[in-house]
Each structure stands twice: as structure tokens, then as C-alpha cells.
Amino acid sequence: MGKGVNSTFVYILGAMFMLSFVFVFEAMLTVFSRFYSDEIAKKLVHIERNTTRIISKQQEEAKIITSNCNLFEGSWVIDDDVIDPLYNTTTCPFIRKIFDCTNRPDRQYLKYKWQPSSCNLPRFDGRELLRKYKGKQIMFVGDSLSLNNYESFLCLLYVSVPEMNYKTKLTNQSVTVIFEDYKVLVTLFNSLFLVDVEVEPNIGRVLKLNSIKNGEIWKQADVLIFNTWLWWTRGKPKQPWDYIENGGKLVKDMNRIAAFKRGLNTWVKWVETQVDPTKTKVFYQGEAASHHHGEDWGDPGVKGCSNETRPVMGSIYPGGLPLAAQIVKKVLRKKESIIFLLDITILSHLRKDGHPANHNGYKGIDCTHFCLSGVPDTWNQLFYASLFSMY
């Protein structure tokens, strides 16, 4: 009897142990499965969020492509969200004194944004651009308006990634800022005419309308943004050449508009024959704007831009499209597959209030270049949207 009781007792204890083990095991499995379910769920959410972000960005870019929206047609409107400028000389180390409007007493010119007529302009995402062009080179080629654009571009990139490391490399004709964290090179190559100016023995400086020798340097870049016009109509003493060579003939001077057109056609031919469109994207920065005569913007009698504090409202500039811009559009017509026109002419002409005037520390009044921060930031916003619409 005792032996039977003991056996039963042992059996009961064993059963209880096995039952406890099952409960513990099931509990462990539950916790284990919940942990991994949570981790999987987290990963799925992470993937979903990233995918949503990517899809949203692609949709934003695709919207530009598919909506047939002309980003360059629109008007300047007050941006109520603007509290401070995008950057200034304190936050960006690249602004030259000529573009520095820190001493300008009015700040209203910083509160306008460009609003296309039939779509919204995507914001400039400097971090995204640096990621996409990691290890690549973006080059601006042109005159001081290219410099104006270049320094805006540098500042927009620099403030997008706080405390980003950079170094500067100088040559006789160029300056390159290397953003070391991304290995992105941003270069300004000084070329007033795009075509060559060479010193000939016993002759002097010759503007050669059919020659581009710097192209071997330019075409190494992954993105090129060209500009020229400002110096084509300059006379002595500022004229930077002594003779013009046109079609093998040396002349003391010629019609400057005809010379500009010939030089521009030489540049287009160079792009067509020398640039690999699968490697390098080419942009032409349209003529910007000088504001010296009030009749151009519907205010006869006004001289210069010193007292201008607001844009021309609406989308039509009273002075119309300048001749240089008309020539550019005609020359680049049917070249859209290889050259993208950044058509900033009218939107820049509307900004009679955007110049340094006499507030940049230099003697005289500058109604040709633009304050930084300011209008060139919109040029680069349009460049960014146009560049990313190509992918």
C-alpha cells in the first residue's frame, strides 16, 4: 500500500513538473514570438516609412515631369513662413563682400518666394543633392553672375549639413570647394564669353568667336551650368579684348549682338560634339537682370535700384523679354535634349528690389548682381528641381 502511494505521489510530481515545464516553455515562446513579431513589425514600419519617403519624393519629382508645368512662369508672392534668411555671412563662409547685404536697412526683399503658375516648386534639399552627387563634380562656367549663382549654391549646400567639412582649391581661372564628407566638388570656372580670349604676339588680346579650348576641362564635370552676356556689350576701358577673330578674319570691332550670337552658336556646337550626354548634364543659365532705368519696370523717371523695396507684381515685366534672352531662346531651340535652359530672365527682371544697390560696402550702386541670401537662391531652387526631374 505504501509502495503504491509512493508511486502515485512520484507520478503526480512528475506530471506537475512536466505541466510547469510546458507552461514555462509556452510563456517563453510567447515572449520570444512577441519580441520577434515586434522587431519584425518595427522593421516593416521602418521599411514602409522609408518606402513612403522615397515614393513621396519620386512622386514630387514626377509631378514636375508629368504636369507640363513651366516652373519659370509665375509670380513673386509673400512667404509668410519666412522668419530669418536661409543664411548670412555668419552662417555661410562663402559670401563675398559684393553680394553681402547685411547692412541693407530693409528686410522685406527676403520674404518673397517664386510661385509657378500651375504647380509648386520643390524645396532645395542640399543633403539629398550631396548624397546623389557623392564623388562627383558640379561646375559653373561664366562671369560674375555665375559667381553670384555659385556662392548661393555653396551656401545652400553648406547650411544643409551643419558643421560640414570643406576645403578650397584655387587655379588661375577657377575656384573649387570640396565638401569632404561627400567628396562633392563644386567649381566656378571664370569665362566671360565662353569662347576664347587669347593674347597674340604683336596684336594683343583677341576674342575668338570660333574657338573653345577650355572645353577639355569643362567636360570632366558631371553637371555644367553655363552663363554669358554681361561683357559682350562692354566698351573701353573695361573691354577685355583688343580685336575680334570671326571666321578666320581679324577685325577691330563688329556688331556686338552678332558677335554674341556667333559665340553662343560655337558653344552649342561644342556641347553637341564634345560632351557625352550620358555622363554630363548641361544647363544654360539665362540672362539675369540689371535695373538702371525705371521706365523698364513701368516707373519712368526713376534712376537705379537704390530705393526699390518690392518686386514688380504679377507675371509680366513691362520692359518685355530682353534681346539677349530672345537670342538665347532662338539658338537653343530644338536643343532641349542636350541643353536645359534655366529660364530665369523674366523672374529676375521682376525683382528690381533684389540688388545690393549701395548697401554692400562698395562705392557706387550695384543694380546688376543680387543680394545673398536672395534671388539667386531661387535660381538654384529651380536648378535643383530641373536637375532632379531628369531622373
**Catalytic center residues:** 144, 366, 369
b/e burial code for range 106-131 (CB count within 10 A of at least 16 → b): eeebbbbbbebeebebbebbbeebbe
| Start-end of H helices in the chain | 2-66, 126-132, 144-158, 215-218, 256-274, 323-332, 345-349, 375-388
Q: What is the DSSP letter of 311?
A: P
Phi and psi angles of residue 48, each rounded to the nearest 5 degrees, phi first: -60, -45
Judge whether 91 and 154 are in contact, CB under 8 Å.
no
> How many alpha carbons fall within 13 Å on the CB side of residue 272?
11
Alpha-carbon distance of 325 to 225, in angstroms, equals 16
b/e burial code for range 57-86 (CB count within 10 A of at least 16 → b): eeeebeebeeeebebbebbbeeeeeeeebb
3-state secondary structure 88-119: CCCCCCCCCHHHECCCCCCCHHHHEEEEECCC
Judge whether 88 and 102 are in contact, CB under 8 Å.
yes
Phi and psi angles of residue 57, each rounded to the nearest 5 degrees, phi first: -65, -45
Q: What nine digits make up the cell of 224? A: 555644367
Alpha-carbon distance of 38 to 17, in angstroms, equals 31
Question: Count H helices, E strands: the chain?
Answer: 8, 13
